[in-house]
Amino acid sequence: MQAKAKAITFLGDEGAVQIPFFQRAYVWDRVNWEDMLTDLLEFNKSHFLGSLILKQLSPKSGEPKAVLVIDGQQRLTTLSILLKAIYDLFNHEMQKDTCNELLKYLFYKKHATDKTQLVKINHSRVDSSYFTKIIGDVKEGIILSLAPNDIEQINDKSNKILQCYKYFYDSLSSESEETRIQLFNHLLSSGNKIIVLIDLSEHDNEQSIFDTINSAGVRLSGTDIVKNALFQRAMELMGQDEVIRLYEECWEKVFASSDDVLNFWNTQKSTGRLMRDNSEILLQSIAVIKGIYDPDKHTLAELPDLFKNKIVVTTKDEIIELVSEIKEYAEIYKENIPAFDRSTLYSFEDYLQRLFHILDTCGISTFHPYIIYLLKKYENNESDLIINLKYLEQFVIKRLITKQETKSYNKLCKDFIKNETIVQSKSQEVTDDQIKAGIESISNKNATLLLFWIELHRRNIDSKQAVKELKYNYSLEHLMPQKWEEFWSDVPVFDENGAEVSGQEKAKLIRYEKIYSLGNMTLLNSRLNTSLRNYIFERKIEGEGRKKGIRHYSELWITKHDILSKYDNGETVWNEVSIFEREKTLCAELIEIWNN
């Protein structure tokens, strides 16, 4: 291994520069590009842009010299794009004058007598076509530029390589010709040693060196680290052609077949207090299922190393099996794990969507491994799958209503995977009386969730209801206001038996308790005007002037039937008796939904 400070002109001494097929795609963004360009435009200072790790490949008969990029593809790619952007901004004469110089760093020939110039950096499959498009082709003594119309169409949703080029092209367009020439010459000066090149021989262990660099601050995702370890081990056990086929079939096709697929796996989801991307949630789930990761003992930061410890001792058959399993679980995850936003329509009959909505709303991701395990096990047996998922849903909802702790969920998830009958018995531990007590005092978030699914349940069983799907965008309203003292003091207080309470302190205590009962809450299309919320019941229902009341926002059956219909039939007083009655109705519905 040799490490030396080098100028980017070292590329002129290399043939093909290959980025391994299993390395991550180009991920640098505007912050990285801006930092690099700002630094390089300060011509009177020295620059250090980081390190590159290259491994010399054994030359094959009749083939040109080639090196493998172990680390540093981001800065190497960015510097090449920067050079091409400067060149494209030169006038035609300047392009002809500098073409031969730039060719050495961006292109190579297989043979000295060849006319065809090949793009020097061979990118991974996802980025290859974009990088080749930017670097261009050689024709009539110049390197062809990207068409102006193509540059205009690049936006923040385009591939990162295209975005990088447009950033440099636009930024340098506003600089003078003199500045662009100076930057071009500065970059291609052999004395401008802006990188440290670490050159490995074919016998050096690149994985251990790569891991050392990574631990020193090169930010790779856990998924990248696991992928590199998987296919590095595969390269040790199998021929390259066989590894490439395994990668193409079991990884690239699933994780990196297009920008949309890459975006899916990189999309972050809230899992309790953490934001984690889909690929990490998937790998953790697989690790739990296979016993690689124990949530009671390990942290998420340990996940890549736990996988690597497993991978390093695998046989050829075991590595093929593990990669194939990851593929199977990934396909199941992508096909079945929903992504929710404000436009999502929910249906009571979609049992998987309903379960994940409940888990997402509660910030619970602990049971993802169990759900993925069930989806794989029962992929050809939907009836048993539904039964097991319903038991899990019952378990989560009942514990939510009865305010039971969630710390034990990690252990329970492992237990459920080992023995599915446990979740059934656990789901039946909560009694009807506990559910009744639970809804007598409930948080706004949980009340909104329960009322929403009660509404969808009613619509599902009512053949006259044409609309069976709803968005989760309703506002919770306390019918008797939380600040009741000013306008509701004249409304008598009643106990659970319907008797009026005479003692002032006892009456206040009962009223304050019942305000936070599920029976006192409903969902509206929109929030009431602040000045109406605390008013007497009649004014809250009808509104006042331009301030619309509950009647105007009562799209849902739980408001129309439970509140408005009774009001229109003469029940114009809302008090503890009303709340007690509605509690019973809602409690019966909760038990019907989540006790079958």
Taking the C-alpha atoms of residue 123 and residue 230, their distance in angstroms, rounded to an integer, is: 20
251 near 262, Cβ under 8 Å? no
pLDDT at 268: 86
Give the separation between CA 315 and CA 236, rounded to whole angstroms: 10
Q: How confident is the model at residue 218 (pLDDT cuts 50, 70, 90)?
A: very low
Evaluate if residue 125 carries a pLDDT over 80. Answer: no
* pLDDT attached to residue 210: 55
Do both 112 and 208 map to the same domain? yes
Say if residue 49 is in the same domain as residue 159: yes
Tell me, yes or no, whether 572 lies in a domain: yes
Question: Per-residue pLDDT for 181 more than 90?
Answer: yes
**520-563 per-position pLDDT tens digit:** 999 999 999 888 888 999 999 999 888 999 999 999 999 999 99
Q: Is residue 436 part of a domain?
A: no
Q: What is the pLDDT of residue 318?
A: 96
What is the distance between the alpha carbons of residues 219 and 126, in angstroms, rounded to a whole number?
20
What confidence category does residue 5 fall into, taking pLDDT thresholds of 50, 70 and 90? confident
How much is the pLDDT for 217?
Answer: 41
The number of distinct structural domains making up the chain is 4
Give the C-alpha distances (Å, rounded to integers) separating 485 from 292, 328, 534, 536, 538: 58, 60, 9, 11, 16
pLDDT for residue 339 is more than 90: no
- Residue range 25-59, pLDDT digits in tens: 788 999 999 999 999 999 888 888 888 888 887 76
Q: Are residues 164 and 209 in the same domain?
A: yes
Share of the chain above pLDDT 70, in %: 95
Give the burial class of 207: count Cβ atoms within 10 A of its Cβ; 0-12 exposed, 13-18 middle, 19 or more buried. Answer: middle
DSSP state letters, 189-252: -TT---EEEEEEPTTS-HHHHHHHHHHTT----HHHHHHHHHHHHHHHHS-HHHHHHHHIIIII
On whether both 352 and 325 belong to a single domain, the answer is no
Which of the residue ranges 112-126, 274-288, 464-478 would you say has the lowest mean pLDDT? 112-126
The model's confidence at residue 212, banded by pLDDT at 50, 70 and 90, is low
For residues 210 and 351, membership in a common domain is answered with no
pLDDT tens-digit profile of 438-466? 999 999 999 999 999 999 999 999 988 88
Backbone angles phi, psi at 108, to 5 degrees: -150, 165
368, 401, 430: which is the final residue of a domain? Answer: 430
Helix (H) or strand (E) holding 345: strand 345-347
Domain membership of residue 139 (yes or no) is: yes
pLDDT, tens digit (0-9, with 9 covering 90-100), for 242-295:
988 999 899 989 998 888 898 899 888 877 677 889 999 999 999 999 999 998
Q: Is the pLDDT of residue 592 over 90?
A: yes
| Distance, CA of 108 to CA of 95 (rounded, Å) | 18
Helix boundaries (H) for 90-190:
92-106, 125-135, 148-152, 160-173, 177-187
d(CA 566, CA 118): 79
pLDDT digits (tens, 9 = 90+) for 362-377: 988 899 999 999 999 9
Determine the Cα–Cα distance for residues 444 and 475; give it in Å rounded to an integer.
10
424 and 525 both lie in a single domain? no
Whether 465 and 420 map to the same domain: the answer is no
Q: Which amino acid is located at 213 in the chain?
A: I
Mean pLDDT of 77-106: 94
Last residue of a domain, one of 215, 232, 253: 215
pLDDT of the residue at 463: 87
The DSSP line for 2-24 is EEEEE-GGGGGG-SEEEPPTTS-
Alpha carbon of 106 to those of 17, 116, 173: distances in Å? 10, 13, 22
Domain span including residue 477: 444-594
| Residues 226-235, mean pLDDT to the nearest whole number | 88
Single out the residue in 160, 180, 215 at which a domain terminates: 215
- In-domain check, residue 60: yes
Which residues lie below 8 Å from residue 339, measured CB to CB, with a gap of 6+?
267, 269
Specify whether the CB–CB gap between 11 and 101 falls below 8 A: no
Q: Does residue 437 sit within a domain?
A: no
Do 13 and 151 sit in the same domain of this protein?
A: yes
Within a domain: residue 573?
Answer: yes
> Looking at the structure, do residues 236 and 90 belong to the same domain, yes or no?
no
Q: What pLDDT is attached to residue 47?
A: 83
Residues 113, 174, single domain; the answer is yes
Among the residue ranges 84-88, 206-210, 432-436, the one predicted with the least confidence is: 206-210
Q: What angle do CA 298, 301, 305 make, to 5 degrees?
A: 80
pTM for the whole thing? 0.71
Alpha-carbon distance of 24 to 22, in angstroms, equals 7
Does the residue 581 lie in any domain? yes
504 and 562 together in one domain: yes
Q: What is the largest CA-CA distance in the chain?
A: 106
Most confident of 118-122, 162-166, 233-237: 162-166
Rounded CA-CA distance 278/301 in Å is 16
Q: Do residues 593 and 453 lie in contact, with contact meaning Cβ atoms separated by under 8 Å?
A: yes
Q: Predicted confidence band at 216 (pLDDT cuts at 50, 70, 90)?
A: very low
Assigned domain for 366 exists: yes
State mean pLDDT over 377-386.
Answer: 94
pLDDT category of residue 215 using cuts at 50, 70 and 90? very low
Are 416 and 463 members of one domain?
no
Q: Cα–Cα distance between 22 and 238 in angstroms, integer?
A: 15
| pLDDT the model gives residue 204 | 59
